[in-house]
A and B are shown apart, each in its own frame.
Chain A
Amino acid sequence: MIRFFLSLLFFVGVSVWAAPIFPELTGRVVDQAGLLTPDQKQSLSELSKSIEENTTAQVVVVTLKSLDGYDISDYGYQLGRYWKLGQKDKNNGLLIIIAPHDHKVRVEVGYGLEGEITDAQANDLILSEMVPRFKQKDVYGGIKNTMDEIKAIISKEYQAEPVKEKPHLFYILSIALIPLLVLIFWAGTYYFSKQVMFIFKLTVSLFIGGIVGMLVWIASHLIIISAIAGLIVFVITYFSNKNADFGSSLDAIGALSRSMSSDSFDIFSGGGGSFGGGGSSIDIGNILDGLGS
């Protein structure tokens, strides 16, 4: 029995791969080391966004204060997996990792991009696009040129492919359902007695609130925001009686969908892709010393 527990302990001990503590995926550019200005971050984010729109590939730039004592290649693939970059069925994520204090740079290539961006190509990108500009303290330029090159390489591969369709069937169906429900709601207010009305209103309001919540969740993947949105719509729908203009709740829905499509609502998250250690890293020496925080 003791042996059994000992072997169990052994297994548990082996199982714990000491994983580094990863930064949060706050956007397409995660500048932990403070090497970029807000404008530069914005510009690189837009570039990354345009790559995703054209090719579905997710390219993320990350600057790190520290690698926590890990080898950058060891750190990189685990970070890529942690953030789940790339689309689930394509594994087309790519990470540009810059660790100025550890003197390391790496291009981490997701499983699905290994064919387009080979290790030799990744190595070449770092050596010919990044390093020369980094030497002139032009971090932004180095990253931007690298991303431009990456965009050119993978656009060739994906050109024929249509842009990813975001609104799927459920999305379209629920949008079609809302006017229908509003109509029923309206009709209901004229024909039902007060007691039945209460339950009727509650049900319909809950339903509309729920659908709006779902839609927001599909668009943003943030539970809290979708719950709040759903709740607001529920309250508005419920308290708008038959005399009031029903347009108010429709207005609210309209405003929500507008804000969802605007840039401020571009909440970036990984698409479920995975990494297998492809890519290349290089020791850049002290060329970035003195930059960043």
Chain B
Amino acid sequence: MKAIGGILAAVIIGVIVMIFVGHVNNVPKLDESVKASWGQVQNQYQRRADLIPNLVATVKGYASHEKEVFTQVAEARAKVGQMTITPAILNDPKAFAAFEKAQGELSSALSRLMMVSERYPDLKADKNFMALQSQLEGTENRISVARRDYIDTVKQYNLELRTVPGRWVAAILYPDATVKETFTAEPQSQKAPTVSF
């Protein structure tokens, strides 16, 4: 009887150990995938920022008197450019919110710029503008894909930290690991403007 009890205990302990072993590396692994997907988000935002000078120059060629919208775009872009983004931002809700806000402002300034462009048929027919416009659209789309992938990886990471047994493993092995910040629901301004013809 005692022997059976011993075996049972050993089996149960064995199973528990197995479960833990399966989770030992999850936190650092998921942490890396969060960083990678965050890198992708930043790449795409950077790509958008790089497109702006050309785009603004082209629009200016046809609509030079729309000064207000050019200033808005320039200011929003400057603000985004000034931000120093380190991976630490992912654990800092305030910095993360500031980043989100600045990018959101740039998004809305850009969509205003595109709306203004609608009023100039010559501009709309300009080959160069059309190319830039489709690049901007594509970049906005990539941003939303990258954001979504980021939300997904953060979700996995946070779930690992919040649920058993990952939670216990983390408490023992990775006491510094904290739940990461993520994007909230997709703001309307993130939607790429659609072209119609």
Q: Do A and B come from one complex?
A: yes
**Interface, chain A (partner B; CB < 8 A):** 4, 7-8, 11, 14-15, 17, 71, 73-74, 77, 118-120, 122-124, 275-283
CB atoms of B195 and A283 under 8 A apart: yes
CB atoms of B141 and A73 under 8 A apart: yes
CB atoms of A119 and B196 under 8 A apart: no
CB atoms of A14 and B135 under 8 A apart: no
18 contacts between A and B (CB under 8 A): A8-B163, A14-B151, A14-B155, A15-B152, A77-B141, A118-B135, A118-B138, A119-B138, A119-B139, A124-B131, A124-B134, A276-B40, A277-B144, A278-B141, A280-B137, A282-B195, A283-B194, A283-B195
How many Å lie between the Cα of A50 and that of B115 in the bound state?
Answer: 43
Number of A-B contacts (CB under 8 A): 66
Mask of B141-159 contacts with A, CB within 8 angstroms, 1/0: 1101110100110010011
Asked if B132 is at the interface of the complex by the 8 Å CB criterion, the answer is: yes
- Which has the most chain A C-beta neighbours within 10 Å: B130, B135, B142, B146? B142
In the complex, given contacts A77-B145, A278-B138, what are 16 additional A-B residue pairs having Cβ atoms less than 8 angstroms apart? A8-B162, A15-B159, A71-B191, A120-B130, A120-B132, A120-B134, A122-B134, A124-B131, A276-B40, A276-B145, A277-B138, A277-B141, A277-B146, A279-B138, A283-B195, A283-B196
- Which has the most chain B C-beta neighbours within 10 Å: A4, A8, A73, A122? A73
Asked if B73 is at the interface of the complex by the 8 Å CB criterion, the answer is: no
Knowing A14-B155, A276-B40, A280-B137, say if A123 contacts B142 (CB, 8 Å): no
Top 4 A-B pairs, shortest CB-CB distance: A119-B138, A123-B134, A277-B145, A120-B131
CB atoms of A280 and B138 under 8 A apart: yes
**Interface, chain B (partner A; CB < 8 A):** 40, 130-132, 134-135, 137-139, 141-142, 144-146, 148, 151-152, 155, 158-159, 162-163, 191-192, 194-197
Q: Could you tell me the distance in whole angstroms from the C-beta of B151 to the nearest C-beta in chain A? A: 8
- Which has the most chain A C-beta neighbours within 10 Å: B141, B162, B163, B197? B141
How many Å lie between the Cα of A62 and that of B158 in the bound state?
Answer: 37
Q: What residues on A are CB-neighbors of B192 within 8 Å?
A: 73
Q: What residues on B are CB-neighbors of A279 within 8 Å?
A: 138, 141
Knowing A17-B148, A77-B145, A119-B139, say if A11 contacts B134 (CB, 8 Å): no
